[in-house]
Amino acid sequence: MKSFFIRYRRWFISLWEVAVILVTLVTAFLLRFDFSIPRSEMPQLQRALWIALLVKMIVFNRAELDRGWWRFAGIPDLVRVVAANVIASLAFALVNNAIAGPAFPRSVYFIDFLLCFLATAGGRFCVRLYHETVSRELSKPGRKGLLIYGAGRAGLTLLKEIQAKPSLGYEVLGLLDDAPAKRHGSLLGVPLLGTGRDAARIVERFKYSHPVEEILIAMPAATGHQMQEALANSRAAGIPCKTIPGVSELLSGKVLSGQIRNVEIGDLLGREPVQLDESRISSTIARRSILVTGAGGSIGSELCRQVARFEPDVLVALDQSESELFKIDLELRRKYPSLNVVAELGDIRDYPRVDEVIRQHAVDSIFHAAAYKHVPMLQSQILEAARNNILGTRNVVRAAERNGVSDFLMISSDKAVNPINVMGASKRVAELIVSSRTQAKTKFVSVRFGNVLGSNGSVVPLFQEQIASGGPVTVTHPEMRRYFMTISEAVQLVLQASTMGKGSEIFVLDMGEPIRIADLARNMIRLSGRIPDEEIEIRYTGLRPGEKLFEELVTDGESILPTFHSKIKIFQGVRANGDWLDKTIAALEIAVKLRDENGVVTQLQHLVPEYRPETVPQPLRLREASRAAGGR
């Protein structure tokens, strides 16, 4: 029955409007003549009923009063109903006066307007009142007791939706807010019970009446510190908490209550939503052939997703991993069925294959995300780090030049700044290769940023696995700090930076303040509902080979230049001489072919004078130890 009503609801509303128009006009006549209409006035009434029905239904239909859900009726709906009734009553009066003349009782027009307005507006708000009171009370048993943390606009909107939708299964018992000015107030009849620090006391108060089962943090614009404090207050009360997305996520258009989710580690960063000049991005991507290398990786796959939004003519996804390439290809085809997606298996270390892909698809722009990036592993894989990150990048750069690609952007790393590890040194050389191409028609730029949350092999998935298994959570050093941002934010800024380059620049993203890894571990343990250092141990294991305590974003000799975007800066240093760079990399390539790790390290130090390895790379150390043992 309910589905039948929903399906034909506009017909039911129209029938309701017909009834209102007829009944209110008759009632207006009755009131005018003290409930005794003279026989001489009956022809006037009958004619007026037909005129009112015709004129008012046309106006109500044009005003779309048969649309919208009455249970959510608000001030905008009231304004629309007032306007529709004013116009309908005036039109009725004009038409009827033109036909009936001055003999028609003028007071009837005004009485009819008042009654018709009260009926059309009152019907809507009676439905809303029913859903927010009677229906809510009937469905109250079994609903979760809820505290909303945040009495701002988001909290108010959420409260309205929860009250209007008993099916959500929540009963809002009260509000929490840390603003002193809001104490002892209320929203929609729900009291503001105290601040976040009062959560434990408030939960105890409701323990035997209607227990609080959940705290919902409704602060989409909160800073990382505010979210951490709200989370700590909720945990102190011993109650699980959820949140709503940040401002940028709310732009998806879903209702607020439909986006309630668990608090995630990204919420605790407190990153402000990225503001993009999408018209500029679209002009560099729409109707063009775009190639993404490393398309199966965490950064590469997100690049594919966001590039796809701007409707390129063709999106070429290149990766050497068949399974990861298959996943992103399948996802893109499902989400963007009209997009021309081409998945190409290939290795950037294979120049003929890279050249073939670029030539075959007439590539206009390249986003080069393919790289080896795990610091401790590359300390023991020097030759592969050089082959992939340096020689592979050179292959893509040369193929781009040869085929007249207009734009080339490489994803770099903060580990390229004053590197002490092989991975950082290899990425710094890759930056030099890209920035040295000053004479090419292709615009070559690099974008440097730090760690992204949730990327493959990053610390966050590792901590999640360790927490799920009951610990311990391993942290290398209590003072280790890293820059963090979300993958989505990083890629959005990469796309924006791609519109700024004139050639040879290194763009650096604003990563905010560095975060202590130990604090990150503790916050993740709290998010899982456990107590750090009590239920789950945090164990310090010592720095691994090639690791720094602190990462940097600028090397010596680089100058800071602003851009029109507050979160993107240009760091412009001394460019390497192209001929010297080519000769030195050629020497490095020979060392790689000869499997000469010492030779590779020597060439890395020639290419990157600031490269000061804190530890001897593992294979060299093992060889020296073996030689020493053989000499005894």
Q: What is the 3-state secondary structure (H, E, C) of 362-423?
A: CCCEEEECCCCCCHHHHHCCHHHHHHHHHHHHHHHHHHHHHCCCCEEEEEEEHHHCCCCCHH
Q: What burial letters (b/e) apply to 259-298, b meaning 16+ CB within 10 Å? A: ebeebbbbbbbbbeebeeeeeebbebbeebbbbbbbbbbb
* Res. 628: pLDDT tops 50: no
d(C-alpha 470, C-alpha 528), whole Å: 11
What is the pLDDT at residue 456?
A: 61
Can you give the three-state secondary structure of 529-561, one letter per residue? CCCECCCECEEECCCCCCCCCCCCCCCCCCEEE
Please state the φ and ψ torsions of residue 129, each to the nearest 5 degrees.
Answer: -60, -40
Could you tell me the residue ranges of all domains in the chain? 2-136, 140-269, 278-452+485-510+552-607
For 287, the token pair is 């109707």
Angle at 20 between CA 14 and CA 21, to 5 degrees: 90
Q: Is 203 helix (H, G, I), strand (E, B) or coil?
A: helix
Can you name the residues that pair with 214 across neighbouring β-strands? Answer: 146
Residue with tokens 């592969």: 384
d(C-alpha 395, C-alpha 368), whole Å: 11
Catalytic residue at 242?
no
Can you name the residues that pair with 570 across neighbouring β-strands? Answer: 507, 561
CA distances from 589 to 168, 423, 586, 613 (A): 63, 17, 5, 20
| Reported confidence tier of residue 249, pLDDT bands at 50, 70, 90 | very low
Under 8 Å between Cβ of 496 and 488: no
CATH architecture of 278-452+485-510+552-607: 3-Layer(aba) Sandwich (3.40)
Residue 589 makes CB contacts below 8 A (sequence gap 6+) with: 391
Q: Looking at 60-69, 442-451, 593-602, which range is the least confident one?
A: 60-69
Peptide bond just before 245 cis, omega within 30 deg: no
What is the pLDDT at residue 272?
A: 58
Q: Which helix (H) or strand (E) holds 623?
A: helix 618-631
Residue 174 makes CB contacts below 8 A (sequence gap 6+) with: 147, 148, 190, 191, 192, 193, 202
Count other Cβ atoms within 10 Å, centred on residue 53: 16
* Res. 566: pLDDT tops 60: yes
pLDDT exceeding 90 applies to what percent of the chain?
A: 29
Under 8 Å between Cβ of 566 and 588: no
Q: Is 171 helix (H, G, I), strand (E, B) or coil?
A: strand
For 405, the token pair is 């690609």
d(C-alpha 323, C-alpha 509), whole Å: 31
| Reported confidence tier of residue 557, pLDDT bands at 50, 70, 90 | low
Under 8 Å between Cβ of 148 and 214: no
d(C-alpha 4, C-alpha 526), whole Å: 47
Can you name the residues that pair with 319 across neighbouring β-strands? Answer: 345
d(C-alpha 389, C-alpha 608), whole Å: 14
Name the residue with higher pLDDT: 409 or 243.
409
Q: Please state, rounded to an integer, the average pLDDT across all residues of the chain.
A: 81
Average pLDDT rounded to a whole number, residues 605-613: 87
197-238 pLDDT, tens digit per residue, is 888 888 888 877 678 888 888 887 777 777 778 887 877 787
Per CATH, 140-269 and 278-452+485-510+552-607 having the same topology is answered yes
Under 8 Å between Cβ of 195 and 177: yes
Under 8 Å between Cβ of 59 and 93: no
Active-site position among 373, 415, 443, 548: 415
482-492 pLDDT, tens digit per residue, is 777 777 778 88
The candidate with the shortest Cα–Cα distance to 532, out of 460, 462, 467, 480, is: 467
Residue with tokens 């009755």: 30
Average pLDDT rounded to a whole number, residues 267-278: 62
d(C-alpha 227, C-alpha 223), whole Å: 6
DSSP string, 180-191: GGGTT-EETTEE
Write the DSSP symbol of residue 287: T
d(C-alpha 497, C-alpha 516), whole Å: 28
Q: Is 501 helix (H, G, I), strand (E, B) or coil?
A: coil
Helix axes 224-236 and 517-527, enclosed angle (nearest 10): 40
Can you name the residues that pair with 559 across neighbouring β-strands? Answer: 572
Q: What burial letters (b/e) apply to 581-592, b meaning 16+ CB within 10 Å? A: beebbebbbebb
Under 8 Å between Cβ of 576 and 436: yes
Beta pairing, strands 241-243 & 261-262: antiparallel
Residue with tokens 């992204």: 452
d(C-alpha 394, C-alpha 404), whole Å: 15
What is the pLDDT at residue 407?
A: 92
* Res. 186: pLDDT tops 50: yes
375-399 pLDDT, tens digit per residue, is 888 988 999 999 999 999 999 999 9
DSSP string, 138-174: HT-TTPEEEEEE--SHHHHHHHHHHHH-GGG-EEEEE
Beta pairing, strands 186-187 & 190-194: antiparallel
Q: Alpha helices of 217-290 — where are they, by DSSP H?
A: 224-236, 247-250, 278-285
Under 8 Å between Cβ of 470 and 536: yes
CATH topology for the 140-269 domain: Rossmann fold (3.40.50)
Residue with tokens 């130890």: 625
* Res. 98: pLDDT tops 90: no
What is the pLDDT at residue 274?
A: 59
196-207 pLDDT, tens digit per residue, is 888 888 888 887
